[in-house]
């Protein structure tokens, strides 16, 4: 398949280039060759610039703001049909998988730099505040050539960029949940034509108390040992240095402490404290037909985990400290050969160090990646091709190629898309260095993904619209790293191949008449993800990979009132080779109002009941989710 993808790229790229430039050869002799690209286009990040042929879900601040004070885990669970794997509710560790792959196969980026854990490879999305960003996008099957390591499933981009323009806006929000949780947040955005400043701060405190059925001890148990608190701040400043250049500086600081509750059928005394300081700086400048971005970031993460043998014990039976620092720098130059044809060239450097007691000493990794990409975007036809090569201290990737194309079959009403991309993922520090079991001889995982899709408006008139999005995808991961028993210990091995195929469908229906709105969306994901060990031909279904996930949302707004219902269904899924977690469905209901106070300010009040039917379910076995609970939120926006 690697060769097939490369062949597609090599054949179609020059062919498309010839076709697309042919018509312009004639026109060039007529049209003035001096042209000026808009700033927003020429300064778009590499991820944005090369993202339009990949299925992407974009969530703006308006949608994210309703979840201020809560985590991305809560937001994605409510608003998508993604496979969110949470070890409980609220402050519990939560990961995400896309398209039947693993949690380390989703790259989470902040302003273009990956914030995945260097030790684990995954990203705890319970540490990501939903209301801390202007935009969050989910890129399905994100290109390995564009993003680099760890995108077999896709990527999530957290963007904080604010534009220097005159503005004064913000919001304050307070909420309370029946789990004995309180949260609050505030956002302020101030700017003029030269400087823009945005700050988001939040805090949450929860006893995380709820009753669940302990199916091992066969009795009802009230969880009282899962208290957590979380606080943080994210701020961005953008300064217009010249009409054609900006300097952006960002900061993200957060601390969370979580008493890890005992899971079903046992009692444990575990606590974890996470803190992160992320700093980011970016310089952008552009000319009429070129753009240059130079940016750098440093992420400093610290985790302290301790476990006691008993509640009274003064000694920790386990006391683990994990400290990791990641430094990234990236430079990208874009040149528009024609207004519709651009070429990007970039280089990324990285330096990662981790101090983990289980490694024995501090481990370090240096990395360098080079990138080149070509994009054509004119009228109804858009295509792109990209190449990337990565080198790390101990291994390197092959040349990763990706190709994407979209065609407006019916302009603005029906778009077909296709893409294919080679992927790779480097082993994590834990895979390489954990004692016992880490394996310094591990190879990177390699593979590919491909997708065809259709986005169409089936029907519309002046008041209503019915639209769909359909994707079919295939992906393969080779030499997937899995921890397996090897004698008395478990060891990291390049153990298996994973084939994942699936379909994602979305149906949207919107009606608006005067002050009344009706919105309904139905999302269905179907996935079949099979793992086959390198040693034999036996196939097994990937664990925690449900075949079907559905999410249905209906929202009715009338004047200042709104009413929303969410329904989620997750099919059964394996948690071990031969053991299934039962399927479950939940219904959440929200009613609220946004009351205009002045012309520009609003007071919002929303009450939500989660899990209305009091369904008993788990996302991860032995980690119970709460039954029916409620929340009330008040917000003030200006």
Number of Cβ within 10 Å of residue 123's Cβ equals: 24
The answer to whether 54 touches 451, Cβ cutoff 8 Å, is: yes
Contact 439, 431 (CB under 8 A): yes
Structure tokens at 175: 């909420």
Nearest distance, CB of residue 160 and another protein, angstroms: 37
Q: Which residue, 345 or 458, has its beta carbon nearer to another protein? A: 458
CB of 526 to another protein, least distance (A): 4
Which residue, 183 or 504, is less far from another protein as judged by CB? 504
In the numeric block, the tokens 């044809």 are attached to 341
Least spacing, CB of residue 490 vs another protein, in Å = 9
Record the tokens describing residue 302, joined without a space: 């610290």
CA distance 565 to 121: 35
Nearer residue to another protein within complex by CB, 310 or 613: 310
Structure tokens at 468: 């769909």
Structure tokens at 404: 């994407």
**In the complex, least distance from residue 316 CB atom to another protein, rounded to whole angstroms:** 10
Instruction: Report the alpha-carbon distance of residue 469 to residue 220 in Å, rounded.
Output: 43
DSSP 40: H
Contact residues: another protein, CB under 8 A = 215-219, 263-267, 309-310, 312-313, 315, 317, 358, 360-361, 435-436, 458-459, 466, 468, 485-488, 503, 505, 524, 526-528, 541, 547-548, 571, 576, 578-580, 621-622
Which residues, including other chains, have CB under 8 Å from residue 566's CB and lie 6 or more apart? 78, 551, 552, 553, 587, 588, 589, 590
CB-nearer residue toward another protein: 263 or 606: 263
E strands along 339-362, which residues?
A: 341-356
| Complex with another protein: residue 196 or 625, whichever CB lies closer | 625
Distance of alpha carbon 115 from alpha carbon 33, whole angstroms: 42
> Which H or E run contains 307?
strand 290-308
Provide DSSP, 79-143. H---EEEESSSTTS-EEEE-TT--GGGEEEEETTEE-S-TTTSS--GGGSBGGG-SEEEEEET--
Closest CB to another protein among residues 381, 569: 569
Task: Return the number of the residue (8 or 522) whose C-beta is nearest another protein.
Answer: 522
Smallest distance, another protein to C-beta of residue 50, A: 30
- How many CB atoms within 10 Å of residue 45? 20
In whole angstroms, the minimum distance from the beta carbon of 627 to another protein comes to 19
Min separation Cβ 628 and another protein, Å = 23
Measured from the CB of residue 221, what is the shortest distance to another protein in angstroms? 11
Nearer to another protein, 312 or 598 (CB): 312
Closest contact distance (angstroms) between CB of 180 and another protein is 25
Contact 475, 141 (CB under 8 A): yes
Nearer to another protein, 348 or 529 (CB): 529
Burial classification of residue 513, based on how many CB atoms lie within 10 Å of its CB (0-12 exposed, 13-18 middle, 19 or more buried) = exposed
> Do 406 and 417 contact (CB within 8 A), yes or no?
yes
Nearer to another protein, 163 or 547 (CB): 547
> Judged by CB, which is closer to another protein: 146, or 620?
620
Min separation Cβ 525 and another protein, Å: 10
Q: Are 500 and 100 in contact (CB under 8 A)?
A: yes
CA distance 74 to 261: 19
Minimum CB separation of residue 579 from another protein in Å reads: 7
Tokens representing 47 are 């991820």
Q: CB–CB of 186/201 below 8 Å?
A: yes
* Residues 85, 103 contacting (CB under 8 angstroms): yes
For the CB of residue 512, give the shortest distance to another protein in the complex, in Å.
19
Closest to another protein by CB, 2 or 468: 468
- Least distance from C-beta 437 to another protein, angstroms? 10
Question: How many Å apart are CA 118 and CA 394, to the nearest integer?
Answer: 15
Question: Which candidate, 545, 543, 620, 542, places its Cα nearest to that of 86?
Answer: 620
Residue 457 Cβ vs another protein, minimum distance, rounded to whole Å: 10
- Which residue number, 300 or 510, has a Cβ lying nearer to another protein? 510
- Cβ proximity to another protein: between 228 and 269 the closer is 269
Label residues 588-605 b or e (16+ Cβ within 10 Å = b): bebebebeeeeeeebebe
C-alpha 52: how far from chain center: 17
- ω into 436 cis (within 30 of 0): yes
């Amino acid at each position: 398949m690697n060769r097939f993808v490369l062949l597609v790229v090599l054949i179609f790229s020059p062919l498309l280039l010839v076709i697309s430039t042919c018509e312009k050869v004639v026109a060039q002799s007529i049209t003035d060759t001096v042209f000026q690209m808009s700033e927003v286009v020429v300064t778009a990040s590499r991820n944005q610039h090369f993202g339009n042929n990949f299925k992407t879900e974009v969530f703006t601040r308006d949608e994210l703001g309703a979840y201020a004070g809560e985590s991305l885990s809560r937001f994605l669970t409510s608003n998508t049909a993604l496979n969110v794997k949470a070890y409980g509710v609220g402050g519990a560790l939560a990961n995400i998988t896309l398209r039947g792959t693993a949690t380390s196969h989703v790259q989470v980026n902040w302003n273009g730099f990956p914030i995945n854990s260097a030790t684990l490879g995954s990203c705890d999305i319970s540490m990501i505040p939903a209301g801390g960003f202007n935009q969050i996008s989910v890129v399905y099957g994100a290109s390995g050539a564009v993003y680099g390591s760890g995108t077999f499933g896709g990527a999530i981009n957290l963007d904080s960029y604010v534009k220097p323009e005159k503005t004064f806006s913000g919001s304050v929000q307070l909420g309370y949940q029946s789990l004995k949780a309180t949260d609050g947040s505030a956002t302020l955005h101030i700017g003029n034509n030269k400087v823009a400043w945005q700050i988001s701060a939040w805090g949450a405190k929860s006893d995380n108390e709820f009753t669940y059925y302990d199916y091992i001890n066969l009795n009802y148990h009230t969880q009282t040992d899962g208290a957590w608190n979380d606080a943080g701040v994210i701020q961005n400043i953008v300064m217009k240095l010249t009409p054609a250049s900006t300097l952006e500086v960002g900061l993200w600081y957060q601390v969370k402490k979580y008493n890890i509750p005992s899971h079903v059928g046992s009692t444990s005394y575990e606590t974890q404290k996470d803190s992160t300081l992320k700093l980011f700086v970016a310089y952008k400048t552009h000319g009429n037909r070129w753009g240059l971005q130079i940016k750098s970031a440093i992420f400093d993460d610290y985790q302290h985990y301790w476990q006691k043998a008993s509640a009274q014990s003064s000694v920790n039976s386990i006391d683990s400290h994990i400290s990791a620092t990641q430094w990234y720098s990236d430079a990208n130059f874009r040149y528009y050969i024609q207004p519709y044809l651009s070429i990007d060239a970039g280089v990324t450097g990285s330096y990662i160090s981790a101090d983990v007691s289980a490694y024995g000493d501090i481990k370090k990794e240096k990395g360098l990646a080079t990138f080149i990409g070509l994009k054509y975007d004119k009228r109804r036809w858009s295509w792109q091709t990209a190449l990337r090569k990565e080198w790390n201290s101990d291994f390197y990737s092959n040349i990763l190629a990706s190709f994407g194309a979209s065609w407006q079959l019916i302009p603005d009403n029906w778009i077909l898309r296709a893409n294919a991309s080679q992927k790779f993922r480097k082993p994590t520090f834990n895979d390489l260095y954990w004692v016992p079991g880490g394996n310094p001889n591990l190879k990177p995982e390699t593979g590919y993904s491909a997708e065809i899709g259709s986005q169409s408006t089936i029907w519309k008139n002046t008041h209503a619209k019915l639209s769909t999005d359909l994707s079919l995808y295939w992906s393969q991961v080779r030499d997937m790293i899995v921890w397996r028993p090897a004698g008395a210990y478990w060891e990291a091995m390049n153990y298996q191949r994973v084939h994942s195929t699936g379909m994602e469908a979305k149906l949207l229906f919107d009606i608006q008449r005067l002050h009344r709105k009706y919105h309904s969306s139905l999302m269905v994901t179907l996935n079949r993800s099979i793992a086959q060990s390198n040693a034999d031909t036996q196939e097994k279904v990937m664990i925690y990979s449900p075949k079907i996930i559905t999410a249905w949302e209906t929202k009715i707004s009338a004047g200042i009132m709104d009413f929303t219902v969410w329904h989620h269904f997750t099919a059964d899924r394996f948690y071990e080779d031969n053991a299934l977690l039962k399927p479950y469905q939940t219904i959440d209901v929200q009613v609220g109002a946004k009351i205009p106070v002045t012309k520009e300010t609003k007071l919002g009040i929303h009450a939500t009941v989660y899990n209305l039917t009091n369904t008993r379910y788990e996302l991860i076995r032995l980690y119970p989710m709460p039954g029916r609970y409620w929340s009330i939120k008040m917000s003030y926006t200006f």
